[in-house]
Chains A and B, each alone.
Chain A
Amino acid sequence: MYKRAQWQWLAAIVLLTMACKKENNNVTKLNYEDGVSTVIYDLAGDTEASVADGVEGKEKRPFRSFYFKLSTKLQSWDSSNTFKQSNNWDLAFTDIYNALVYVNNGSGEGPGKGGAGKGLIIAVDSAYSKVTIAPEEDAFETGNLRFAGWDGYPQPYNTGWYFYSLNTHLAVPIQNRTFIIRTADGKYGKLELINVYQGNPPTVTDLFWPAPYFTFRYFVQQDGSHNLKTP
């Protein structure tokens, strides 16, 4: 009797160990390359600024904005009015963690104010590849967000691309939210802001994970049409 019980247990333990076998724990790295879109990995923002009071050894100052030209993939730190009012940039990464992203628009409030930029931005809650067409002029103008930053902040209607988790105190990008934009020159495109943390981790597990390093992808329709189809 004992023996039998023992064998049963041995078998049970082996079975259980098998049931508890290691799951595939590799972090799946998504492929953002679709052949036509441009993907930017780990574009460094102002990594030396601090917002903290009384933190020794760290420069306490506002984050310096940087500017990005979509067609040339050029990053510029030139914050002169001449530059800001030019069409040499399409996106301005401003404010805390450079995560408040403006389009270059000369007529509204924003870094491009007073310039010739025709930039517009609206949000679509859909996967990047499923956004295939830019809306007509009127709809675009009415829905214009001017910038995309912290979702629902400062007002609930401020649609953004990430939010701060009050639980982990980390920035969490919002999945499957795509922005339709108009560049400074008036061309239509789409933009997905993917991450602010280095290496684009699926989930951030370290309070001191290096930031801001931007991962984003975009497609600009060069023929001037509203067609935004990508594979």
Chain B
Amino acid sequence: MRTSKDLYTLFILCCSSLCAFSQSDTSRTLKSVEVKAVHLETLTSRAAMPVTVISRKTLEMMGSRRLDEVMREQTGIAIVNDVSAGSRAIGMQLQGFSADYILILIDGQPMIGRNAGNFDLSRITVSDIERIEIVKGASSSLFGSEALGGVVNIITRQHIDAAQGQAIVRYGSQHTQDFTLEGETPFGGGTNKSGNGSLNLSGNFYHTDGFNVNSFLSKGATAPPYDSYSLQGRLRYKLNANNSLNIAGRWALRNSINESVYSSSQVTNTTRDVLHESDVNGAIVWQVNLNKGRNANPDKGWQANLNKDRNATPDKDWQANLNKDRKTNLNNGWNANLTNTWQLKTQYYLTRYSTTQDVSTGKSAQLSSNDFTQYYHRFEEQVQYVVSNQLSFTGGIGGNLEVMDGNDLKSEYAYAQGDWKVNNRLSSRLGFRYDHSDFYGGRLNPSAGLKYSLSEKISLTAAFGTGYKTPDFQKRYQVFTNPQAGYTVLGVEEVAIQLAAMQAAGLISEVRPVAKDISAALKPEMAVSYNVGMSYTPVQKIRIDVNGFYNQLHNFINTVQIATRTNFQPVYSYINLDRSFTGGVEAGVSTHVLKGLDISFGYQLLYAKDRGIMDSIRTGAYPYNKIRNNNTGETRASKVSDYIGLENRSRHMLNLRVFYEYAPWGISATFRANYKSRSGYDDANNNRFLDTYDTFIDAYCLVYASIEKKLCKGHLAVQITADNLMNYTDMLMPGQPGRILMAGLKWRLFKQ
């Protein structure tokens, strides 16, 4: 009931707002002039699938501190806890794909360090992010393994044309503290107005006491407290007219101690969870331009992105951007001839992630420990060739070396992409990537995108891509017995030896026939994504985007019971079993009705199901063949229609954003509301699939607001933010904090 009421409210709001717009009579354009930075590794210039962009301006206006806070407000994205991997396992779900399948990039390079597949985005501070790009759908044609379900690219500060500095101090609920110091300057003089080089340095400290939503805890937090330190630096230097060098480094450290005390009756139990993690990223990029004409400044054009897309509408206009870019270039008079240009980019990237996590009880008994150090090296050579205004190519080859606790994994790759503007109406993009790993052999991933403009107002897009993910070290080599539940999990390469050893020790009471099917050659998981969209601009200030998506997942790796221990506990391993799919519709309406006022509305409809479960229900396989009404205790045969879908996925997600800026007074404010319909938490009637009698996380709506006033000619700004204003919490969402109020001061140093 609650669901339909909220939906109805939003619907009314949407209608009333549209009425309001149609009455107004401005003729301002929706989009500001936009220039694309050709030389940067942006997803907009690579992905065939639609790209959502969140700009620095949006981040500043929202007043968010950590990356997870930004992401949880995006259409089609959910930040969910993975209860089975402990209280620190929290990850980002995108179009129904779980966190394991979403690749996180920093300036186009992969970030590592996951907890049972979950990448905790709160590791990353928002303070030095220039913009965030999100590609939904299989993107292995861009980035290889792991980009099976999508990619998030974090782009750090790039454009530096004047010396400036910034200090930010924020303080608020739960003793949350956020301090940022940032400085940047061009240097090296030269003919270029802004200098031949630029340097940016920033540091951030963040502390939170965490948040507790579990009323059974007398002390401790369900969203753990932590201290985080990060330093980031970037140096760009133009060696001469055609050569430039770019060096970037990032170091982040996080410490967290969470002591949870469970008190009831006369019993008190303490669990102490200690985490130390550190994260280093470094990259060197050498860029060579081989064109006859004058060279475009690679940095030029970033400013334009600041105005753009404060509402993070899907940015499907890769081709349009390119056109605009060229047009602007022509207008500006520089680099009028972009044809027949070559660019070479040589890069080396290194990242290291190290973590120690120990959970122990007050009796000093260790419950679990998760310690590892992981290195990832990448070397890549990229070529860009612009044949003409209609045709351009990008290609590259590279190699990765991943080292984790003594295990090496080498892989090589090559990719090529072509962009062809067939005519004024039709443009296309085609890409291939070939990945080869010593263990899993070769794999080719294609992607293709088409855009057709029906008219000035309507354009249609279609995209296709494939993705894959190789089984990780755990799935191959793990030998693990869960101290709480008591089951054992064996990596596929360990099954034969470990099972024989356990049998010899008399620990095994039964070996299941499926144990023979466990193959050391576990196949990589595969995805195929389809996306069809339409963009409609009925009047200049309103844009409507509708996208249909369908992602099919094959060779989904699932745990399977292969034996039973003499203590009744199961022994699991991994097998390629199920085929899942996620599909749905994403829609967005964005408007720019008044000067400074941006209103947008986003919606995602999602169906995410496991076809393996559907087949099991159809064939009546135990325990899928029954459904127990937990309210009455009655059990009946199950039907396929009883199956709701994968856990932790809301069928409906809605968001509304209002961003307002009144420049004469230096005031800006935002209001955001996010709604998610109910989602499954866990099975409650022992049939291993989600049905109406199981445990659900209720539908909910979170409200966010912020207001900022600039003073002293923009040198000083005061901001107040409220996250989860209505303080909505649910025990079933341990990682979702309640109301956080923050006050912040920003001091900017710059020349007028």
- Residues on A facing B (Cβ under 8 Å): 1-2, 4-6, 8-9, 12-13, 15-17, 19-23, 25-27, 41-42, 44, 48, 50-59, 62, 95-97, 100, 124-127, 149-154, 156, 163-172, 174-177, 198-201, 203, 205-211, 213
Contact = CB atoms under 8 A, between A and B. Distances in A.
Q: Which of A20, A21, A48 has the most CB of B within 10 A?
A: A20
Q: Which of A57, A96, A151, A207 has the most CB of B within 10 A?
A: A207
Contacts of B369: 55-56
12 contacts: A9-B599, A17-B726, A41-B265, A52-B486, A96-B486, A125-B635, A201-B216, A203-B731, A205-B732, A206-B83, A207-B484, A213-B267
Contacts of B215: 26-27
A164 B485 contact: yes
B633 A206 contact: no
B684 interface: yes
Given A5-B23, A13-B658, A165 B567 contact: no
Q: Which of A12, A17, A174 has the most CB of B within 10 A?
A: A12
A1 B594 CA distance: 10
Given A15-B13, A209-B262, A165 B632 contact: no
A207 B568 contact: no
Main secondary structure of the interface of A (DSSP, over half): loop
A207 B84 contact: yes
B568 A203 contact: no
Contact of B260 (A5, A169, A199, A206): A206
Nearest to A42: B265
B240 interface: no
B148 to A, nearest CB: 21
Contact of B673 (A4, A6, A16): A16
Given A15-B9, A52-B481, A5 B594 contact: yes
A33 B111 CA distance: 54
Interface stretch (B193-201, B311-319, B698-706): B698-706
B16 A8 contact: yes
B325 interface: no
A153 B5 contact: no
Contacts of B594: 2, 5-6
Contacts of A17: 673, 703, 725-726
Interface string B248-291: 00000000000010111111010101000000000000000000
Given A13-B671, A208-B484, A167 B682 contact: yes
B20 A206 contact: no
Interface stretch (B292-300, B464-472, B577-585, B622-630): B622-630
Contacts of A175: 630-631, 633, 684
Interface of B: 2, 5-6, 9-10, 13, 16-17, 20-21, 23-25, 81, 83-87, 213-216, 222, 260, 262-267, 269, 271, 273, 359-361, 363-369, 479, 481-488, 510, 559, 564, 567-569, 593-594, 599, 622-623, 628, 630-635, 647, 656, 658, 671, 673, 675, 681-686, 688, 695, 698, 700-703, 725-732, 734
Nearest to B87: A206
Contacts of B730: 25
Going nearest first, the 5 A-B pairs with the smallest beta carbon separation are A125-B633, A199-B264, A51-B486, A20-B701, A52-B483
Given A57-B365, A206-B214, A20 B658 contact: no
Contacts of A2: 24, 594
Contacts of B698: 23
A125 B633 CA distance: 5
A170 B485 contact: yes
B486 to A, nearest CB: 4
A27 B731 contact: yes
Given A12-B13, A199-B216, A20 B702 contact: yes
Q: Which of B262, B273, B484, B688 has the most CB of A within 10 A?
A: B484
